[in-house]
């Protein structure tokens, strides 16, 4: 049961996507919060810590694939390419690729966190002074952050989307997003994208429920952000982090579980939480190679090749627009 008791007076806040998405998500029968809001400045820093954990194999495995196959990847991308990276974060994953490319025409990172993105731009510019870096701040699923590409002339564009970020979207959403990406590219342009592969549930669940509890802090940070930005009064101690693998849906789900029935106020609205009720905060879908190739084809890409690790835990795919 959700009761609106007053409306927030800050019109600028009312116009924000965060405001609308949070209130809509908490009003649902299954309460949800979009996972993109996990990645504010504090959340992004926590996620960097997660990537260094022993339990979190994804970053380590992906990095090993890049190290082993970076020359072949750069060859696929080809000379003179503009690299576009939606959800770039600290931009560390793209740097080895940029260093191995032949005369890249530029780098266009997009991210929702301005502090981290602008710091990354300074670092890359210092390291690769001949590379033009055009940072675009905002949500990469929105059209406005892509406007800067209109003024960039280049012989080839390659979209770089590592980290299995595509797994945060449902299969339908992923197909729509890849189709959105394809519309920004032309014939011969490419996509270099990482996917986490279907594997044993023990390995998966350990990665999302780490022994050092950093993922728990990362997940709960969205409640702290709501408290700070939307005048919320979440008591973080009344929620527990839960992550589990759903084999039929081939995804890991992250939830925040309410430990005690209580009311929470956000932006002048009251939301009732029952003991055991959850807020669904993130999905991480897993793919087989053949399954992801079919997804690429439906979205308008032609699969070219992929690289994987010996354990077949992770894959990096190259596809292009035919």
Q: What is the pLDDT along the chain (322 residues), one digit of tens a residue?
A: 333 333 444 555 666 889 999 999 999 999 999 999 998 889 989 998 999 999 999 999 999 999 999 999 999 999 999 999 999 989 999 999 999 999 999 999 999 889 889 999 999 999 999 999 999 999 999 999 999 998 887 889 999 999 999 999 999 999 999 999 999 999 999 999 999 999 999 999 999 999 999 999 999 999 999 999 999 999 999 999 999 999 999 999 999 999 999 999 999 999 999 999 999 999 999 999 999 999 999 999 999 999 999 999 999 999 999 8
DSSP string, 232-256: ----GGGEEEEEEEETTTTEEEEEE
- Domains in the chain and their CATH numbers? 2-43+202-285 (no CATH), 57-199+286-320 (3.40.50.150)
Query: Whole-model pTM?
Result: 0.85
Phi, psi at residue 315, to the nearest 5°? -145, 150
Alpha helical stretches, state H, 17-143: 17-27, 41-51, 57-77, 95-100, 114-127
Angstrom distances, CA of residue 18 to CA of 14, 38, 130, 190, 217: 9, 11, 37, 32, 20
> Contact 298/175 with Cβ under 8 angstroms?
yes
Element (H, E) at 153: none
> Contact 191/322 with Cβ under 8 angstroms?
no
> Contact 190/77 with Cβ under 8 angstroms?
yes
The token duo for 60 is 């380590």
């Amino acid at each position: 049961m959700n009761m609106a008791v007053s409306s927030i007076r800050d019109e600028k806040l009312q116009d924000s996507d965060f405001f609308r998405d949070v209130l809509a998500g908490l009003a649902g029968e299954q309460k949800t919060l979009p996972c993109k809001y996990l990645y504010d400045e504090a959340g992004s820093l926590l996620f960097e810590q997660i990537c260094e954990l022993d339990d979190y194999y994804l970053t380590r495995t992906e990095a090993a694939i890049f190290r082993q196959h970076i020359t072949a990847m750069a060859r696929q991308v080809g000379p003179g390419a503009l690299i576009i990276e939606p959800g770039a974060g600290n931009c560390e994953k793209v740097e080895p690729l940029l260093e191995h490319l032949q005369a890249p025409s530029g780098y266009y990172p997009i991210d929702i966190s301005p502090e981290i993105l602008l710091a990354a731009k300074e670092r890359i510019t210092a390291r690769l002074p001949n590379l033009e870096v055009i940072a675009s701040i905002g949500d990469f699923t929105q059209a406005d952050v892509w406007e800067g590409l209109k003024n960039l002339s280049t012989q080839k564009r390659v979209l770089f989307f590592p980290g299995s970020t595509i797994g945060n979207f449902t299969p339908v959403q992923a197909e729509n997003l890849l189709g959105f990406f394809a519309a920004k590219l032309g014939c011969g342009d490419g996509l270099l994208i990482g996917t986490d592969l279907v594997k044993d549930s023990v390995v998966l669940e350990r990665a999302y429920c780490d022994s050092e509890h950093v993922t728990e802090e990362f997940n709960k940070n969205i409640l702290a952000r709501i408290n700070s930005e939307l005048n919320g009064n979440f008591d973080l101690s009344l929620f527990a982090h839960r992550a589990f693998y759903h084999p039929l849906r081939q995804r890991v789900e992250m939830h925040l579980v309410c430990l005690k029935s209580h009311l929470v106020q956000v932006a002048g609205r009251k939301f009732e939480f029952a003991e055991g009720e959850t807020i669904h905060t993130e999905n991480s879908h897993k793919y087989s190679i053949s399954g992801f190739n079919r997804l690429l084809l439906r979205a308008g890409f032609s699969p070219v090749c992929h690289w994987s690790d010996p354990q077949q835990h992770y894959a990096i795919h190259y596809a292009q627009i035919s």
